[in-house]
Amino acid sequence: MPVHNHELSAVFQRLADLLEIQGADRFRVRAYRNAARTIESHPGSIADMVQKERDIQALPGIGRDLADKIREYVKTGRLRLLEDLEKEIPRGLITLTALGSIGPKRARALYEELGVSSLEELAECARRGEIARIRGFGAKTERKILEEIAGKSGQAVRTKFINAHEIAQAYLAHLRGLDTVKQAVVAGSYRRKKDTVGDLDILVTCDDPGRVMDRFTGFEDVKTIVSKGSTRSTVVLRSGLQIDLRVVPDESYGAALHYFTGSREHSIAMRKLAMKKGLKINEYGVFSGERLVAGRTEEDVYRSVGLHYIEPELRENRGEIEAALRGELPRLITLEDIRGDLHAHTSLTDGRNTLEEMVEAARSRRYEYLAVTNHSPQVRIARGITSDILMKQLEEIDSLGRRYPDITILKSAEVDILKDGSLDYPDEVLDLLDFTVCSIHYHLHLSCDRQTERVLRAMDNPRFTIFGHPTGRLINEREPYEIDLERIIEAAREKGCYLELNAHPDRLDLDDISCRAAKSSGVMVAISTDSHSVHHLGYMALGIYQARRGWLEPGNVLNCLPVGDLKRRFRR
């Protein structure tokens, strides 16, 4: 069985959760969490490294013990330590940590104080008011727990795009290895680059459908074959992800790709437009009466109803068809438009690589600039640095800048916005930076008004430049904190501030709708990776996908500017 990076990462994350529930040494817990992050962010297959006997101890934070456990799981599909812990800890207890308001420590406290080991027991205790009486919880947390449990009731878990991407590419490579396959593409929400996907829809054109179906259902990651037919099959993988395969004729390929890419709302709007022209659009083609008039390519489908091609990321029926009719579709941003990265950490705080290694990685991407944004002191868990250490870092940047004249190393910091709206460095220190990325990491549960006012007060400081990961969400892990983004965007326009689209796959924050709102208000967005290793710089592509869904063009994105223009923009 193939072991994907996200599966291996999840094993180590679960191991860390169980150890923390058990009360294990915090440094040991942190080592497993760091290993999980290293594995998930690695661009290549860790399993392949094991099979080819490459040195996985060369990976950041992977020592001999962790390397042995990685090899054990890759080779056997089991991890003895994890199995032992799962026997010792009540089965339902780990499910409590799926709630954003409950981490492993709180789950342990609930178990010890109330004997809670399932969501059902947790909800019952919350309804009786027992949780509010536990030290460190309170009535507000109790209400939040009930809200989260209600929100998860019957809610299907969607797969993060980056994890779906790894599976999709492996499956496409598997299918394309068959000489009878001519075209193979993943459609659906995956092709529209949504931040999560429900399942994967693969379309294929080929000369021998039977062989394709055999190869599709024979993929080694398949757990269950739901159905197998002559032109359509469905499987469920070990991860729980469902994949549908459809074989379509060459003359219908474009129509089928359009139909199965969706969205449903876009497809309905297209069918209505076609009806006005006396045409009918379905998955088999565009028809005038019984005559097929288009369908071989998507361009033909759009052309048949008088439209230019609409990029998949725009197909949500949010005005894209009307814009196409007016000839006003945006020239969406591409990865080639990006000139640099404005949010990156080094090993001085919680990054994996040194300053020089990060700069060299940025140079290899032909970036014009890279901003170094290590954490401010408030973020103790990430080893945030004091003003004195920051001063030494700025000196190191000056020295390294003289050695690398082909790239500008921008002096910055990820500065915490404190609860009262002040910034986590004194003004005289902030004045030494080229710009700031100002973020919230603590006090996430303030009311909408208080959280919004907190940020607005911070923006009053002329040293505030970019609002980092503006909603604080973690996909499938933590809901956004309550904040009035409409007011924030308006204030950013008035004060000359900017918003970040954090491209980390766990965040993708801003979302697509907020990106478009910023664009409409004339507020530029910085697409940044929040890199904690040289490999994370590759997350820029994920940010580009999100930006395209938000209709962003190069002129709307801060780091599409040359460094001179960028620095002028930073002056408020």
427 in helix, strand or coil? helix
- What are the beta bridge partners of residue 294? 286
Q: Is it true that the peptide bond before 533 is cis, omega within 30 degrees of 0?
A: no
Q: What was the pLDDT predicted at 1? A: 64
Topology of domain 252-326 in CATH is: Beta Polymerase; domain 3 (3.30.210)
pLDDT tens for the chain, 572 residues: list them.
Answer: 678 888 899 899 989 989 988 888 888 998 999 899 889 878 788 999 999 999 998 888 899 999 999 999 999 989 999 999 988 887 767 777 777 778 788 888 888 888 887 788 888 888 888 888 888 888 888 888 887 777 665 556 789 999 999 999 999 999 999 999 999 999 999 999 999 999 999 999 999 999 999 999 999 899 999 999 999 999 999 888 999 999 999 999 999 999 999 999 999 999 999 999 999 999 999 999 999 999 999 999 999 999 999 999 999 999 999 999 999 999 999 999 999 999 999 999 999 899 999 999 999 999 999 999 999 999 988 889 999 999 999 999 999 999 999 999 999 999 999 999 999 999 999 999 999 999 999 999 899 999 999 999 999 999 999 999 999 999 988 889 999 999 999 999 999 999 999 999 999 999 999 999 999 999 999 999 999 999 999 999 999 999 999 999 999 999 999 999 999 999 87
Just give the CATH number of 159-247.
3.30.460.10
Instruction: Give the sheet arrangement for strand 291-294, strand by strand.
Output: 280-282, 285-288, 291-294
335-570 placed in CATH 3.20.20.140: yes
Distance (Å) of CA 131 to CA 107, 128, 134, 150, 481? 11, 8, 5, 16, 22
Q: What was the pLDDT predicted at 150? A: 73
Which of the 8 DSSP states describes residue 243? E
C-beta separation of 527 from 544 below 8 A: yes
The C-alpha atoms of residue 258 and residue 315 are separated, in whole angstroms, by 10
pTM of the model: 0.85
CATH 1.10.150.110 occupies which residues in the chain? 5-152
5-152: which CATH architecture? Orthogonal Bundle (1.10)
CATH 3.30.460.10 occupies which residues in the chain? 159-247
CATH 3.30.210.10 occupies which residues in the chain? 252-326
CATH 3.20.20.140 occupies which residues in the chain? 335-570
Extract the tokens encoding 134: 């536990």
Largest CA distance in the chain: 77
C-beta separation of 174 from 209 below 8 A: no
CB atoms within 10 A of CB 277: 12
Q: What was the pLDDT predicted at 250? A: 96
